[in-house]
Structure 1
Amino acid sequence: MRILDDAPVRKAFFRLMPLLVLCYFVAYLDRANVGFAAVHMSHDIGLTASAFGFGAGLFFLTYFLLEVPSNLLLARYGARRWIARIMLTWGAMSGAMAFVTNETGFYTLRLLLGAAEAGFFPGITYFVTLWFPAAYRARIMAFFLCAAPISLSLGGPVSGALLGLDGFLGIAGWRWMFIIEAVPAMALSVVVLRYLTDRPSDAAWLAPDERIELSERLATDAQQSSQLAEQGIFQALFNPRILLFGVANFAIVVAAYGVSFFLPRIIKEFGLSDLQTGFLSAVPYALAAIGLVWWGKRSDARLERRYHTVIPIVFASVGLAAAALLTNPAARTIAFSCAAIGCWAAMPVFWSLCFGNIPTKNAAGAIAVINAIANLGGFTGPSIMGFFRDHTGDFEVGLLVLAGVNLVAAGIVVLVGRKPTTPDILERAMHV
């Protein structure tokens, strides 16, 4: 069944998802643009590769610490208000990066940016469960997640062009980049506050019978969710299966972010200009955006999640290993493209797999736990790449480590990705 064949879902999709995709596009642009500023900013304020990787990853530490409370507050006060608040504060913190003058300032603002944005992605993920029936969630998540690689793809040339403003009004190009790219987030906070609708029952733009139909279908999905639905919130949040999903997501994110923050720097070492680097950096993520949407639809069509998650993870690991071992720039770009396609294609199906194992009444907290653990991978991946760059003089060992860590996710998904029908050892372990 295609999304457009179902009237209430179709209306919800076209009302909500374009705005959410645009918000995630801007979020990812503000999160990852530091990778394009890396060379010039590091030179101006005196950052080594290790210091840059550590600072880039610090974003995810405060994101991790505040993610669960942020998502619980979103569930309490509504996505419309809370997402608008997130966007306003992260826009301000992202713009403030333009005024960094030393290593300490860089670390501080990365921590503040993570605190400001905490809860955005898991909040949207939870929001999807409030609006879209289970049979559509892989393709919905794929559509939403495609904003990230598209942001990296389009953001590359844009960031490269903004770096070309170097010296305008006596301001460095990388500072202009942070200032200009912060404006959309702050503007969109107003749009979200006026336009988003928290639940189908609140949607005046749906016909009364459509509101009832969609609410009933979502209620049916909730009743058919995992056996975890009978547990208390504390038990659900710390259920071994949920924690293992978090570890698997951590391993995927280690690879995705380890590459994304350093890919512009790796490509620039091919001997390219800032603008050329931006355009070539866009290629892997443009392909990834196409791949993840197609793969999410394929998973929904077959209603299969586990191996639709494992296959792209393995594909990404092969791409990372090839990028480490190859020396030709064209061959390495192809290898990085394979890695990007695999990492991003796995994500929407992975989340659909999680939805089938999360109790609906505790979804906000459980999703936040999984994503919070994963965001430690956002700290670990760049740190691994920076460490090995400083100690070996290149990125090859770091890429091989990322490939190995990524494979851990495949093993975990094979082990725990089967939706439980009877209590198994993982469920029993919770009561020991």
Structure 2
Amino acid sequence: MPATGEQQVAIGASAMRKAFWRIIPLILVAYLFAYMDRVNVSFAAADMNADLGFSATVYGLGGGLFFLGYALFEIPSNLMLVRFGARQWIARIMITWGLLSAGMMFVTTAEQFYILRFLLGVAEAGFYPGVIYYFSGWFPPCHRSRAVSRFYIAGPLASMVMGSMSGWLLGLDGNSGMHGWQWLFLVQGLPTVLVGLVVLRFLPDSPAKVEWLNPAEKAWIADELARERRLIGGAVSHNVLAIFRNPKVLLNGAIGFTCIGAFITFTLSAPMILKAATGLDATGIGYLVGFGGLIGTAATLWLGNRADRHGDRLIHAFGSAVVMAGSLFVMLLAPSPLTVSLAYLAFATVSFSVAMLVSSGWADALSGRELAVGAAAINTMSQIGAFLTPFAWGALADATGNFDAGLLGIALMMTVNAALIWVLRGQVRGQVLRAVPAAA
């Protein structure tokens, strides 16, 4: 006898509860180290730049080159993930980038800085869109924002960890003949290799291959994902070049370009901006950034849950983008220690949520192999923004002697970002796939 509606809800709730607990914590830890290895250079920047004689332009170019390497190898990496499987490929990504991140401690010249940042981006390419693709095989749409938000909090959590650790690590300056920033890269890089090995051993491949789901739970996941594919319709194209002609991919890419470009640019220089505006030392800045990470974690979880229940991810993304833009304008126009600190905390509260909410909807519009290629294409455009904007920021800082022009530029980028999200919402509103939410 077929299961009743109430029984289906109970089966779905059980399946999702198991999947969340078996998958999300491991992906969360992996992304935590990914984000730390991506932006730990922001905490090292002041001392490293002084020790090695790097200008703002050199630092901005090096900071951005990570994202150029990421962008160029995003699609190839995701195609390899589809071929070899998420577990093997995500583990490979983590092991290589952990080694390269620790290798940053050996940098002595601008050229070495450029090369290692570029290679670090190449190593990490495909991680985030790969996870989105992997989740599309586990979590139906009514659970997807929560699933993404629960691993996306790794970003603000990393800010907490780095904020609490970085002052201490930089304080090791002179120990064993090493600078404090060298200790920072070493201590925050090598553990990523160990996490990669854990992923290789324990990350499940697919619902059909695990023993901890019963047949009814496996069937429920398969049926929900099949229903999603039917509602989305057939893939527009599997061709890698044709994917860039897909309007849904292009609009999401423009949103990613503006959001990630502005977010990464500010994040790479936030400790230096806060230090100049507030007069706090490295430890104080670390605590401020750490507190921003704490409230950002709570906000990301809350917005992910609310978006799934409300059924409209993009209205929440729009509101978060408006707050980001407003906080940047406040830092520019009212640069007192108190207003800068409060505006930074407002920025930190919502800054991770925009990309999280928009990207959790990629699988609503793209399916199958198109999702793997399309997600990588969207993220490629996003990473190009993260490459170009820090370089422009550094050049403007060297030309003007301050960060005001850069702050104005990224504030305007986030204003455009909010407008683009509103346009995207108008296109997909009413097409969001709804199902009865299950507890997870």
Partner of 2:272: 265
Partner of 2:434: none
Shift of 1:388: 2.2
The code of the aligned residue for 1:302 comes to H
Asked whether 1:343 is paired with 2:356, we answer no
State the distance in 1 between where 2:70 and 2:362 align: 20
State the distance in 1 between where 2:38 and 2:397 align: 22
Query: TM-score, normalised on structure 1?
Result: 0.93
Asked whether 1:279 is paired with 2:250, we answer no
Partner of 2:300: 292
Q: CA contact under 8 A between 1:3 and 1:136: conserved in structure 2? A: no
State the distance in 2 between where 1:352 and 1:31 align: 21
Q: CA contact under 8 A between 1:314 and 1:342: conserved in structure 2? A: no
Partner of 1:239: 246
How many matched pairs?
A: 421
Partner of 1:320: 328
Q: CA contact under 8 A between 2:69 and 2:119: conserved in structure 1? A: yes
Q: Deviations over 1:289-325 (max 9, x none)?
A: 2112111211111101232221111111001110111
Structure 2 residues not aligned, in runs of 5+? 1-5, 432-440
Give the RMSD, CA atoms, in angstroms. Answer: 2.0
State the distance in 1 between where 2:251 and 2:159 align: 29
Partner of 1:173: 180
State the distance in 1 between where 2:17 and 2:275 align: 43
Structure 1 residues not aligned, in runs of 5+? 423-432
Paired residues for 1:72-83 under 5 Å: 72-83=79-90
Partner of 1:392: 400
State the distance in 1 between where 2:326 and 2:11 align: 36
CA distance 1:4–1:311, shift in 2 (3 Å): farther
Partner of 2:316: 308
**SS where residue 47 of structure 1 aligns?**
coil
Partner of 1:200: 207
Shift of 1:124: 0.8
State the distance in 1 between where 2:397 and 2:26 align: 39
Shift of 1:421: 8.3
Partner of 1:58: 65
Shift of 1:205: 2.1
Which of 142, 146, 151 is equivalent to 1:139?
146
Q: CA contact under 8 A between 2:29 and 2:154: conserved in structure 1? A: yes
Partner of 2:437: none
The code of the aligned residue for 1:359 comes to S
State the distance in 2 between where 1:263 and 1:350 align: 24
Shift of 1:406: 1.3
Shift of 1:237: 4.7
Partner of 1:97: 104
CA distance 1:117–1:64, shift in 2 (3 Å): same
Query: TM-score, normalised on structure 2?
Result: 0.91
The code of the aligned residue for 1:416 comes to L
Asked whether 1:367 is paired with 2:380, we answer no
Paired residues for 1:19-30 under 5 Å: 19-30=26-37
Q: CA contact under 8 A between 2:257 and 2:381: conserved in structure 1? A: yes
Q: CA contact under 8 A between 1:200 and 1:211: conserved in structure 2? A: yes
Q: Deviations over 1:67-106 (max 9, x none)?
A: 0110111011111100010000000100110000011110
State the distance in 2 between where 1:311 and 1:4 align: 34
Which of 216, 235, 239 is equivalent to 1:229?
235
Asked whether 1:129 is paired with 2:113, we answer no
Shift of 1:236: 4.0
State the distance in 2 between where 1:152 and 1:3 align: 37
State the distance in 2 between where 1:35 and 1:3 align: 46
Partner of 1:40: 47
Percentage of matched positions with identical amino acids: 36
The code of the aligned residue for 2:317 comes to T
Q: CA contact under 8 A between 2:237 and 2:370: conserved in structure 1? A: no
Shift of 1:414: 2.0
Shift of 1:238: 2.9
State the distance in 2 between where 1:276 and 1:343 align: 21
State the distance in 1 between where 2:133 and 2:94 align: 17
CA distance 1:283–1:377, shift in 2 (3 Å): farther
**SS where residue 279 of structure 2 aligns?**
coil
State the distance in 1 between where 2:404 and 2:279 align: 18
Partner of 2:436: none
Shift of 1:232: 4.1
State the distance in 1 between where 2:168 and 2:91 align: 29
The code of the aligned residue for 2:159 comes to L
Shift of 1:230: 5.1
State the distance in 2 between where 1:412 and 1:233 align: 26
**SS where residue 235 of structure 2 aligns?**
helix
CA distance 1:420–1:25, shift in 2 (3 Å): same
Q: Deviations over 1:219-247 (max 9, x none)?
A: 2212222x452544444453022112101
Shift of 1:174: 0.6
